Structure 1
Amino acid sequence: MMEFENQTYSRDFILLGLFSSSQTSLVFFSFLFITFIMTVTENTVIILLIHRNLRLHTPMYFLLSHLSFMDILHISNIVPKIFANFLSGSRTISFPSCGFQVFLSLTLLGGECLLLAAMSYDRYVAICHPLRYPILMNEHVSNLMACGSWIVGTINSTIHTAYILHFPFCGSRAIDHFFCEVPAMLKLSCVDTLHYERGVYVSGIIFLIIPFSMILASYAQVILTVLQMKSSEARKKSFSTCSFHMIVVMMYYGPFIFTYMRPKSYHTPGQDKFLAIFYTILTPTLNPIIYSFRNKDVLTAMKNMLECNFLPKR
């Protein structure tokens, strides 16, 4: 029995990917390649702008730089392997590589959930309590929020990765997904995973339901405050900003909650893969656009950086 388990752990997994048709795969590959380049470029530009421009050295942009870094790591953890498998014609992923994908993915997903909640709190304080903002959101608090997101996300990920890799995978090693994700891997286990699924449910409450509820409460208070503004232009601008933020939040949390807070028996491969695209590929691409490139300060900083580096000096 021990020899069988050792052989099981030493074998590679197979990622079935998104599409079986080669023609469809080529179209998806092209779209994914463009999206990947856009995501890495956008988020790298945001990090450089925030680092180089003193006007952007505020708690909001500090948290945003961490969000951009998480998004770069997240999409880089998943998409290059899809490229490698497509170009090589192989769908295999080694056991250690799969474990690392699970670990990094859960770390970044959990950390980003907490970070988005921290960013919504920052906006709540800035709009609803502007006079107390320097006290409630100072450098120490923002550092604590960012570090806490990374540390708590890493601890949670370590526990779940250790559990999921400990399960024996009997029979088929084919993961019906485009990356190693916990719900898809649980289906390959030949032991009862009910107790572990309850642990996933508890983590979902901590990392999904509570932060999402905090975000909704924060933006509800922001909207109430905005409604009391005398300037119609200020109200319109604030509503526009809040609505775009909430769209991205819903696109991230909605599919994430639906995937991780359902019993294993309710999961279907096609549905899980479709939902995962939102929180692994689309939101990292949209975050810089929604949170940064629509912001006047960021656009001004970008214009100054372009003028300094690319335009000829007079």
Structure 2
Amino acid sequence: MDEAAEVTAFWEELDLPGIIDVHTHFLPKRVMDKVWAYFDGVGPLTGVQWPIRYRADEDERLRTLRSFGVRAFTAMVYPHKPDMAAWLNSWAADFAARTPDCLHTATFFPEPDAAAYVRRAIEDGARVFKAHLQVGAYDPRDPLLDDVWGLLAEAGVPVVAHCASGPVPGPFTGPGPIGEVLRRHPRLPLIVAHFGMPEHNDFLDLAERHPEVRLDTTMAFTDFPDFTKPFPTASLPRLLDLQPRILHGSDYPNIPYPYLHSLESLSRLNLGDPWLRDVLYNNAAVLFGPPSGRAS
């Protein structure tokens, strides 16, 4: 059985119409090439060999993702310096316009015009944002971002934030800085990327305190991230309590293992088929609406 058939068999056995993946990366080619070169060079934020499993041109990556039955996905773009986010947003808007099964994604950086281009992206139909505190090395409490968080909270547009300290801590990662943002903007729809690795329990605490906080499963339960602490077994019951607010993410195409492994790693938690159905499809369908783009 080929990989696409195996992935399809997985979600069909759960009686799902497919998968929604809230953490996938599509970027301008020159940016994606630089990201892949970083991983090839065993970058300091990883420190381990990281072979890109789905290294291919954009069209082939889309065909592969669709062959898995992924009905909706994101284009997680993120800047690492000023004067980059608005350009990425323009590219992502064009990508979403020609890729109807991609949720229109946008991003930001702490800079004077951040609120203006975030407002413009929301008005243009952005449905999800990406914030990468580790790569960007910025403080989410920066006053230049206060209006940005406020706009996202007011509009109810989720932001997927790499705010935890895996694989290595950044100057503003961990639950403290982003927790202060949530205290100032309690209605902010925050999706904690990578399930808050390695501060799993701290980010579960945040989710329990803030009803608009969700977590994505990207890489968190797989066999690969030996550079971080495994999820604590004693906390598994908390995943049932937070069942409606856990979303599937994969990091496709920048993963060093088959896509199927990300699904099997969730299944082996033994939290039941209803939990899997919610995580792989239902929760994201509630948050973003049922997929309306192309199905294959």
Question: If each structure's helix is expressed as a fraction of its own residues, which one has the higher value?
Answer: 1
Question: If each structure's strand is expressed as a fraction of its own residues, which one has the higher value?
Answer: 2
TM-score (normalised: structure 1)? 0.26
TM-score (normalised: structure 2)? 0.27
Rg bigger for which structure?
1
